[in-house]
Amino acid sequence: MRIGYTTGFLFGGNPEIWGYTGAELISFYIPSEWAEEKCYEYTGNNSYSITIDMIDAGPHHVYHASHGSKTVMYTSYGSNYTTGHIMAQENISNGHLPAIWNSISCWIGWLDGCECCGDAWLNSPNGGGFGAFNARYGWGSYVAGYGPSEVLSRYFYEEMWFNDDYQLGVAHLMASDMMCPFSEEIDDWCVKEYNLFGEPELPMWFIEASDLDVLHPASISEAGNVTVNVTSCGSDVSGARVCLQKGDWQTGEVYEVGLTDESGNATLYVSPATSGTISVVAWARDYISCQGSIDVAITGFEEGEGNPVFNNNLDSVYPNPATGSITIPFSLAAAGVAWVDIYDITGRIVTTLTAEEMTAGHHNLPWNLEDANGIAVPSGIYHVRISTGDWTGVTNLVIIR
């Protein structure tokens, strides 16, 4: 686990005020088993290229203490980190997690405008992550490290490590709450303009995550209870969140969620109306989510001369993210020619997996993550597209090398 700091000169005085002071105060909260990369202009160790390399190396958290504007963050004299640099980051495609960024800079969270550093960080195609950014001005102090914006950022890590707030939005909100009641009007300003960019329910890892394993029925043919067992390294995992889903979570046939008991079991009742696939996802704090699937063969819905009725449907591919190979589960309402294509994020066809006559019903199509020339595709975001004469389905896939 890692945290990276990128800091620069803040303002003159006697003594001069530098951003690294606030970073060192945050460092107090970081466990000894975490690695820390300190990119400080004060020590001659910061520039936009140093910051880029630090982020591409995959920190779980980033703290930035320096000047900024809507599309630029200062790193050192004459060296600015821009929205263009953010959009080119590759920390995720390099195989790392999205990074969580906290910053005291002015204007970089200009969410009411058309472009800002926070938007770029959230939308970087191969990197970036989530973060908290000022919509207007960040505020420092002539007492180094104790400006209102610095204290607000530091409270985030206090909530995370001292109060065990592992959800991103909870830690962000409780850090703001620690500023209340406001001792000065400027504190009120800082809290109200410091906005979270990203999913509030995102669980933050505190330790190096372990793998989960799930055991469940391979198939079902009727409505009933489905028991999913969740383990890790041979031990039962209690309190894991298990989700069974078929179709859209709001309008689909199945969406059931439960927590595992002391034996690692969660039993959920499902009642699918058609054949297809139920996706199985297990999640637990500080574990890597595990995915599986259950084939559904419902034969009770008939028409005409007794043939089963199928729907066009593309389920989530698994595993996702993927490292070696994937399975693409889908159903076709009628027999006919089906095309299954893989696109990269630029819209270029990477490979066509099939373009042939297929039967109606459920299919599981494998892909070895190679392009049309048999070359392994690089890390990144890809789109799986299935099309027939009258239907098209698309889902996304993340590949990590």
Please tell me the distance from the alpha carbon of residue 188 to that of residue 38, in angstroms, as a whole number: 30
Strand order in the sheet with 326-332: 313-314, 326-332, 361-367
Nearest of 280, 295, 287, 268 to residue 364 by alpha carbon:
295
Phi-psi region of 179 (alpha: psi -120 to 50; beta: other; left: phi over 0): alpha
Please tell me the distance from the alpha carbon of residue 365 to that of residue 376, in angstroms, as a whole number: 18
Half-sphere exposure of 106 (CA within 13 A, CB side): 7
Architecture, CATH, for domain 310-401: Sandwich (2.60)
CATH of domain 209-309: 2.60.40.10
pLDDT of residue 311: 76
Q: Which residue is listed with tokens 């995550």?
A: 209
Domain chopping of the chain, boundaries: 2-197, 209-309, 310-401
**0.75 surpassed by pTM:** no
Full pLDDT tens readout for the chain, 401 residues? 999 999 999 998 888 999 999 999 999 999 999 999 999 999 999 999 999 999 999 999 999 999 999 999 999 999 999 999 999 999 999 989 899 999 999 999 998 887 899 999 999 999 999 999 999 999 988 888 899 999 999 999 999 999 999 999 999 999 999 998 887 888 998 999 999 999 898 999 999 889 999 999 999 988 889 999 999 999 999 999 999 999 887 778 898 989 999 999 999 998 898 889 999 999 999 998 999 999 998 754 444 444 556 778 888 888 888 888 999 988 888 899 999 999 988 888 999 999 999 998 889 999 999 999 999 999 888 999 999 988 888 888 888 88
Please tell me the distance from the alpha carbon of residue 202 to that of residue 199, in angstroms, as a whole number: 5
- Strands 194-197 and 35-40, by their bridges, are unpaired
Asked whether the domain spanning 310-401 has the same topology as the one spanning 209-309, the reply is yes
Please tell me the distance from the alpha carbon of residue 190 to that of residue 330, in angstroms, as a whole number: 49
108 with 134: CB under 8 angstroms?
yes
331 with 276: CB under 8 angstroms?
yes
Q: Which residue is listed with tokens 């970036």?
A: 128
27 with 83: CB under 8 angstroms?
no
Q: Is 2-197 CATH 3.40.50.1460? A: yes
